[in-house]
Amino acid sequence: MPYEVRAVARVTGGRHEVADDGWAGVVAVIELAPDVPDEALIGLDAFSHVEVVALADRARDVPPAPWRRRPRDNPAWPDVGVFAQRNKDRPNRLLVSVARIVRVTERAIEVEGLDLVAGTPVLDLKPVVAWNAPRGTVRTPSWSDELGADYY
Interacting residues with its own copies between 89 and 118 (CB under 8 A): 90-92, 94, 96-98, 100, 113
Give the one residue of 15, 27, 31, 53 binding its own copies; rule: CB under 8 A.
53
5 is an interface residue for its own copies by CB under 8 A:
yes
* Residue 64: cis peptide before it, omega within 30 degrees of 0: yes
Interaction between residue 3 and its own copies (CB under 8 A): yes
CA dihedral over 148, 49, 133, 55, signed as positive or negative: negative
Question: 121 to 140, contacts with its own copies by CB under 8 A?
Answer: 121, 123-140
Element of type H or E holding 30 = strand 27-32
Q: Tell me how many residues contact its own copies (CB under 8 A).
A: 72
CA atoms within 13 A on the CB side of 95: 21
- Residues in 32-51 that interact with its own copies by CB under 8 A: 36-37, 39-44, 46-51
Is 18 an interacting residue with respect to its own copies (CB under 8 A)? Answer: no
By CB atoms closer than 10 A (0-12, 13-18, 19+), residue 95 is buried
